[in-house]
Amino acid sequence: LCFTPAGLDCSISSVSHVLGKVCIQGRQKEILGVLVPRLTDLTRSDCIWQRMCWRLVECVPERWMEAVVLGFVQRAAGADVLSRLLGNLVVKNKKAQFVVTQKLLLLQYGHTTAVLQNLLGYLALHSLRRPLLIKVRLSNLVASRWMFASVTVPCTVWFVSELLMSMLEGVKCHLDSNLPQIRCLGMVVAESISSKINTDGPVLKFQYEEDDETRELKSLLVQTPPLSVVPTLPDDERDEKAEAALPVVLGSNKNSPAAAPAVPAEVSDTELDSDDDLIPYDMSDDKELKTKAPVYIRDCIEVLTGSEDVDKWEATIKALESLVRKNPAATREVSVELAKILLHLEEKTCIEGFLELRQRAQVAVLTTDPIPVAKYLTSQFYSLNYSLRQRMDILDVLVLAAQELSYPKSHGKTKHSGAQKPCIHLLPGSDSSKDWRKIVDERIKSKTRRFATGRSQVKLDSSPNEFNSVAGHFFFPLIQHFDRPLTTFDLLGEDHLVLGRLVHTLSILMCLAINTLAVTVMGKALLEFVWALRFHTDSYVRQGLLSCISSVLLSVPKEHLLEDMTEELLEAQSWLGDVVEKDPDGDCRRLALQSLLLMENLKKKLTADPS
């Protein structure tokens, strides 16, 4: 029962039934598009209308409650309006509580950010509803976008320790993802939440590139004033208090210019420019003093490890690559020591392109003395106390050095410039699969016969393949210990990002090992490696495994494939068929199909040439 403005008792349960029936029948937009604005106006200044509106929604049968609540949430002009219209419905009705705190937040994805803010703001505006807000925050913290919009919602009661635990769990979940967008989302949300929790202490800070999505998320931190406030005073008293307060505000505005007179700009400019009469010193003929770089390898080691001269350190790192290549004999004497220094070298100054300079120097050392340096780097990949970034740096250096060793050196006998040596561009994250595809496409192109003359290409001098004798030192140490977890490094566990990079690295090394003596043994070991990881849950890892199959088919001679790997190839063929039909990732299905086509072409060649 409700008490109407006319002083009569009435029941509106029948109206609630009609409202629920209309909304569930698909006419939600038509009826609530008229009803919600009208109730918004009526409840703004009349508490009796508020009670009637609450009873109207509370009396809706549970089977129709979701449609009615969703309509009110979507059409309310703000959290305060939604609070006036629904009251404490989520506390009194379990169905409404489930819809507001679970279904709309986690199970439906078509709602706008404004709807989300209305929901969270509605839960925060009353003391009886705030425990539900805390519960929603703690349980749904992993869903970063939902949690982000609630950062600015006021809440008096807060369990900081539980919030921190939930936040760390959500951050870990996002940072473990191989998708840069998901990782960036976790970073932005973690920064924002930590800044609200630790107002006086240290806060989390990540490095990421801002885009439209991150800017949109950060804009949610700016609090907007509510459109209206729930009235607590009768109309007459409210009007009297408003009229009494108005002159004070206006008076303060009128007096403010006189209280703080502006300082004339001319006076301040004169004081600031009092030194303009001084004659500047002529420095047009001055030349920048350049620090001379060391000329010996051992001097470079001393500068990189102990020198406090920043300019000399910067000159050394810039000149190190060329110095290593010009002095191979001196480099071999200290190659492992120099590789260790470069692996642990950190930037002392804001030198442009430091990471590239360091990587090029590492590649130069590795190509100058391949076997001992490769043994050192591959052993450090599975050692303790290395960051994931350092482990991935090791993989990048191995690939670039293998590429340089596997291609013949050119000496400029060029008829027409335009043809270029194939190259590998190592990109972060999931783009590494594109590098493999580029290499495979080049390999397929090189095996294609064409019967037409085209543009003349660069004529390269013939030279031995330097990667032939060292391929095993690059490949086998990386494939041996992948299943042995360490205290700080678990490839088969949470460090699957590095596992994906490792798999793609092995695929590239396999491609570069074509025509080497160890290629057959490498191919057989790689197929066994793929078979052990074929059911990995991460799509990036599966893409690398599929690339390994294609690399083996393109690099190992067909007669060795038939003699030494028949059983492995039949098992791989069955798995590839399942991937084409069932894998949810489109790139995986395409790569599997490409491998099946390579197998079919191999079968045709063997049939045509049985010898």
Give me the chain's average pLDDT, please. 77
DSSP string, 163-215: HHHHHHHHHHHHHT-S-HHHHHHHHHHHHHHHHHH-SSS----------HHHH
Q: If pLDDT is split at 50, 70 and 90, which confidence band does 106 have?
A: confident
601 and 532, same structural domain?
A: yes
Instruction: Report yes or no: 491 and 498 within 8 Å, Cβ to Cβ.
Output: yes
Would the pLDDT of 9 be above 70?
Answer: no
Taking the C-alpha atoms of residue 412 and residue 312, their distance in angstroms, rounded to an integer, is 34
Does 460 map to a domain?
A: no
Tokens representing 142? 């992993």
**Mean pLDDT to the nearest integer, 162-166:** 71
Taking the C-alpha atoms of residue 540 and residue 429, their distance in angstroms, rounded to an integer, is 9
161 and 86, same structural domain?
A: no
Would the pLDDT of 50 be above 60?
Answer: yes
Taking the C-alpha atoms of residue 348 and residue 294, their distance in angstroms, rounded to an integer, is 18
106 and 167, same structural domain?
A: no
Instruction: Report yes or no: 31 and 39 within 8 Å, Cβ to Cβ.
Output: no
DSSP state of 26: I
Residue where a domain stops, chosen among 405, 433, 458? 405
Does 163 map to a domain?
A: yes
CA dist 362 to 306, 342, 345, 525, Å? 19, 7, 11, 27
Q: How many CB atoms lie within 10 A of CB 93?
A: 19
305 and 361, same structural domain?
A: yes
Does 281 map to a domain?
A: no
- Based on the structure, what is the number of domains in the chain? 4
Residue pLDDT, tens place only, 539-590: 899 999 999 999 999 999 988 888 888 899 999 999 999 999 999 888 999 9
Least confident range from 210-224, 234-248, 265-279, 288-302: namely: 234-248
Q: What's the pLDDT score for residue 367? A: 95
Does 399 map to a domain?
A: yes
Does 440 map to a domain?
A: no
**For the chain, what percent of residues have pLDDT higher than 70?**
73
Q: Which of 248-252, 418-422, 555-559 has the highest mean pLDDT?
A: 555-559
7 and 114, same structural domain?
A: yes
Q: If pLDDT is split at 50, 70 and 90, which confidence band does 209 have?
A: confident
162 and 136, same structural domain?
A: no
Helix (H, G, I), strand (E, B) or coil at 10: strand
Residue 538 is part of which domain span? 470-608
Residue where a domain stops, chosen among 373, 405, 437? 405
**Mean pLDDT to the nearest integer, 195-200:** 72
**Mean pLDDT to the nearest integer, 269-279:** 57
Q: What's the pLDDT score for residue 287? A: 63
CATH number, domain containing residue 528: 1.25.10
Would the pLDDT of 337 be above 70?
Answer: yes
195 and 97, same structural domain?
A: no
Residue pLDDT, tens place only, 518-532: 999 999 999 999 999
159 and 136, same structural domain?
A: no
Q: If pLDDT is split at 50, 70 and 90, which confidence band does 336 have?
A: very high
Would the pLDDT of 428 be above 50?
Answer: no
Residue where a domain stops, chosen among 357, 376, 405? 405
Q: What's the pLDDT score for residue 225? A: 56
Q: What's the pLDDT score for residue 331? A: 94
389 and 311, same structural domain?
A: yes
Q: What's the pLDDT score for residue 535? A: 92
Instruction: Compute the C-alpha angle 55/123/224, nearest 5°.
Output: 115
**Mean pLDDT to the nearest integer, 279-286:** 69
Taking the C-alpha atoms of residue 65 and residue 19, their distance in angstroms, rounded to an integer, is 10
369 and 498, same structural domain?
A: no
CATH number, domain containing residue 366: 1.25.40.720
Q: Is the dihedral of CA 12, 13, 14, 15 positive or negative?
A: positive
345 and 398, same structural domain?
A: yes
Does 420 map to a domain?
A: no
Q: What's the pLDDT score for residue 79? A: 85
Q: Which of 109-118, 220-229, 259-268, 481-490 has the highest mean pLDDT?
A: 481-490
82 and 5, same structural domain?
A: yes
Would the pLDDT of 429 be above 50?
Answer: no
Q: Is the dihedral of CA 233, 236, 237, 242 positive or negative?
A: positive
Does 490 map to a domain?
A: yes
Instruction: Report yes or no: 146 and 106 within 8 Å, Cβ to Cβ.
Output: yes
Q: What's the pLDDT score for residue 76? A: 85
Does 429 map to a domain?
A: no
Taking the C-alpha atoms of residue 133 and residue 168, their distance in angstroms, rounded to an integer, is 19
Taking the C-alpha atoms of residue 381 and residue 395, their distance in angstroms, rounded to an integer, is 8
